[in-house]
Amino acid sequence: MDTAPTITQEPDEPDCADRFTRVQSSAEFGELRRSHRSFAFPLTVAFVAWYLLYVLLSNFAGDFMGTTVVGNINIAFVFGLAQFLTTFLIAWWYSRHAAARIDPKAEALKAGLEASK
């Protein structure tokens, strides 16, 4: 006979799922999501557009991408290195944004959630 283990809960302790649902529907959580989305979504779209520009220019503008900048370095090589540079810059910029605007809000929500246990 399989029986599921029973979890005892104090009568005045709110159900965990109810607490999570309350936090998720709170204005503070909505603000946290907006802070993340207002930064991440536009930057993601911009980076994907920048990457696709690089791919399209490589495929359809070979003469332009083959233009020598200095020595054996051409525009395609510069654009390729710029892809790496922008990736690291975006990661750095996001970490600063998260530390300043997202993490404090997330910590406040976490503290409130843990306090309501």
Q: Residue 3: pLDDT above 80? A: no
Query: In whole angstroms, what is the distance from residue 54 CA to residue 58 CA?
Result: 6
pLDDT in tens, 68-95: 999 999 999 999 999 999 999 999 999 9
- The amino acid that residue 46 corresponds to is A
The secondary structure of residue 93, as a DSSP letter, is H
Quote the pTM value.
0.73
Query: In whole angstroms, what is the distance from residue 17 CA to residue 48 CA?
Result: 37
**pLDDT at position 6, please?**
47
Which pLDDT band holds residue 22 (cuts at 50, 70, 90)? confident
Percentage of the chain beyond pLDDT 90 is 68
**pLDDT at position 23, please?**
86
